[in-house]
Amino acid sequence: MEVITDTALKSLLQHSRRIAIVGLSNNPDRASYRVALYLQQQGYQLMPVNPKLDEVLGLPCYPDLMHLPQQPDLVDIFRRAEDCLPIVEEAISLKIPAIWLQLGIQSASCRNAAEAAGLTYVEDRCIKIEHDRLCHQA
C-alpha cells in the first residue's frame, strides 16, 4: 500500500475543484453535511450523490455517478466500507481520477481496484481536516 504524502494531498485538494460527494446527508448533524458545507464555503463545486434526496445545500442530488452532469475531479465517499466497492468501480468506469474514502473508512478491495486503474486513492482521512491542515497554512 502506497501512503500518500502531504505534498500529493495538497496538490490533489488544490486541483480537484469539482467534487462528487457520495452519501451526502441533508442532516446538519451528520459529518457528510458539515464536510460538504465546508467544501462549498471553500469554493469547491459540489455534486451531491444520494438516490434518496432531491437536493442538499441548495444543489440537486443525483442517484449515482453515472447521472452527474459533468465529470468530477474527485469522488468523496461517505458510506460503510462494505458499500464502497461498487462506487469505486463506477468511478473507474467513468475515468474519474481520484477516490477519497472518509475518516474511518478503509477497504483493501477499493484500494486495490483504484490503484490497479491508476487512480489517486485516499482512505481513512477527512477531506475537511486535510484541507484545513494543508491549504490554510501561512
Domain map (residue ranges) of the chain: 6-105+112-135
Query: What pLDDT score was predicted for residue 38?
Result: 97
Instruction: Tell me the C-alpha distance between 55 and 26, whole Å.
Output: 8
Classify the phi-psi angles of 57: left when phi > 0, otherwise alpha if psi is within -120 to 50, otherwise beta.
left
Instruction: Tell me the C-alpha distance between 74 and 44, whole Å.
Output: 11
Q: Is the Cα torsion angle 130, 32, 88, 40 positive or negative in sign? A: negative
Q: Convert the pLDDT of each residue in 26-79 to its tens digit.
A: 999 999 999 999 999 999 999 999 999 999 999 999 999 999 999 999 999 999
Q: Is the pLDDT of residue 13 over 90?
A: yes
Segment 115-137 shows an average pLDDT of 93
Query: What pLDDT score was predicted for residue 3?
Result: 75
Q: What whole-number percentage of the chain has pLDDT above 90?
A: 95
Segment 84-106 shows an average pLDDT of 97
Chain-wide mean pLDDT for the chain? 95
The CATH homologous superfamily for domain 6-105+112-135 is NAD(P)-binding Rossmann-like Domain (3.40.50.720)
